[in-house]
Amino acid sequence: MIEGRRSLARLGAWFGRASRQAEGELATVEAQITALGIALDEHDFSPAQPGATDAMCADLERALDAYDAAKRAFVGDRDRADALDVLRALDDGHHALACLDARLAGRPLPHRLPLCFFDPRHGRAVRRLPWAPADGAPRNVSVCAACGVRLEERRGTVGGMLPAPRGAVGEGPRRRPVSTAPASTGSEPGYGVAQERVYGRGPGAGQVRLPAVGQPAVLVVHSDGAEQVTVVLRLRGNQRKGYTLGDGFEPVRARVPLQRLGNRQTVRFTVEFRGSDHTEWEAWAELPDAIPEFTERIHGRGGDLVRYTGPGAPAVLHHRGRGEVRLLALDDDLAEWTEAGRGKGDAQLSVHLPGPGVYQVQARGTWVIEARVADGT
């Protein structure tokens, strides 16, 4: 009887792990769908703009159709762990946008390889290599970068499918506590608790513990590769809030606002990369004190948060890059309060800083904010 209970307990634990893994994979796929939708919303091409061609319009239409197909497949196929139809649709959408970008820049259309032969969750293949199954004839297959390395390491051997590389899509992020304390401490409940960092490679889902219950915070995101990152916060119910970080030319070092929402203790989020599926990243929550301060001048890349310490004053926002740029003033709960300025592409915008506080930069390029204080400096 005791052994039977132990067997049932082991079986229950196995099913629990499998369920959590499947849930993580679904969250990753959902993050990829959201990221494609954000890329479509933020793209600055319009079929009505001067110079637009039929081929450009067809690329955009193909990307929109792929996005709709991915959403339909995801809703109708949530119980499938691999969601191949969703991944193929997303691949079609990203390739269509890449073709559109190439046409706009006057570059050759990008060469397209299929999804990784060994596991479509690994994303787009980057090359073709010879492979032979057990007792089978060798043939060329399309593989992702990680599987290509593993295949070359096993050159001269035959056998079944390669195991999925560590950190592949669907492997959930890793956690470990950090020794650094929150940016400030106090007597309120929840302060002074050691924070955890969440680690991952490529697209994935994570959850961080807030440094203070019932207080606003920031999600700090770092990556080790020069990739543009989309972070999607999972709020109450089915609400989602997406942020684009980085400019694609430097590793990401940025912050996302976690506005005060009741007495929640944790925040769930997903991470998606526009380029490589193997970029490593880490994220953790800190108090708003972690936001960089400025009085006269500050610069950055992509979306981020800054804290202005001067009085209300006019300012200039310089932006270099494609897409829209916005400067938002946030309230004490880190919720959007008012828009200080908006522009598009390479721009030099005259904006107004209402006063000291936290501001959010929404951009895909590099930017500089210069405040014009009373003495004219």
For residue range 81-107, list pLDDT tens digits in order.
346 678 878 888 888 898 899 899 888
Q: Residue 309 in contact with residue 373, Cβ under 8 Å? A: no
pLDDT at 375: 54
For residue range 17-73, list pLDDT tens digits in order.
545 555 666 777 788 888 898 989 888 898 889 989 988 998 898 899 888 888 887
Q: Is 71 part of a structural domain of the chain?
A: yes
What percent of the chain has pLDDT above 90? 21
For residue range 281-318, list pLDDT tens digits in order.
889 999 888 899 998 999 988 999 999 988 889 999 99
Lowest pLDDT segment from 139-153, 184-198, 272-286, 321-335: 184-198
Q: Please determine, for residue 276, whether its predicted confidence score (pLDDT) is greater than 70.
A: no
Residues facing residue 100 across a β-bridge: none
Q: Is 295 part of a structural domain of the chain?
A: yes
As a whole number of angstroms, the distance between CA 247 and CA 226 comes to 8
Tell me the two tokens of residue 348: 């030099």
pLDDT at 194: 37
> Can you give the CATH number for the domain in which 210 is found?
2.60.120.380
**Residue where a domain stops, chosen among 289, 318, 353:** 289
CA-based end-to-end distance of the chain: 82
User: Are residue 260 and residue 210 in the same domain, yes or no?
Assistant: yes
User: Are residue 276 and residue 214 in the same domain, yes or no?
Assistant: yes
Exposed e or buried b for every residue in 285-322, given b needs 16+ CB within 10 A?
bbbbebbeebeeebebbbbbbbbbebeebebebbbbbb
User: Are residue 216 and residue 269 in the same domain, yes or no?
Assistant: yes
Domain assignment of residue 308, given as a range: 291-377
pLDDT at 182: 31
Tell me the two tokens of residue 237: 């119910």
For residue range 328-363, list pLDDT tens digits in order.
999 988 999 899 999 999 999 999 998 899 999 999
Q: How many CA atoms lie within 13 A of 238 on its CB side?
A: 2
**Residue where a domain stops, chosen among 235, 260, 289:** 289
Q: What is the mean pLDDT of residues 196-221?
A: 87
For residue range 166-192, list pLDDT tens digits in order.
333 333 344 433 333 333 323 233 333
User: Are residue 271 and residue 371 in the same domain, yes or no?
Assistant: no
More confident residue, 80 or 138: 138
Q: Please determine, for residue 135, whether its predicted confidence score (pLDDT) is greater than 50.
A: yes
Contacts of 169 (CB under 8 A, 6+ apart): 25, 28, 121, 122, 123, 202, 203, 204, 277
User: Are residue 201 and residue 283 in the same domain, yes or no?
Assistant: yes
pLDDT at 146: 82
> Can you give the CATH number for the domain in which 305 is found?
2.60.120.1050
As a whole number of angstroms, the distance between CA 287 and CA 156 comes to 54
User: Are residue 282 and residue 296 in the same domain, yes or no?
Assistant: no
pTM (2 d.p.):
0.53
- Structurally, the chain folds into a number of domains equal to 3
User: Are residue 179 and residue 273 in the same domain, yes or no?
Assistant: yes
**Residue where a domain stops, chosen among 246, 268, 289:** 289
Q: Is 332 part of a structural domain of the chain?
A: yes
Q: Is 248 part of a structural domain of the chain?
A: yes
User: Are residue 270 and residue 177 in the same domain, yes or no?
Assistant: yes
pLDDT at 22: 57
Judged on CB neighbours under 10 Å (0-12, 13-18, 19+), 7 is exposed
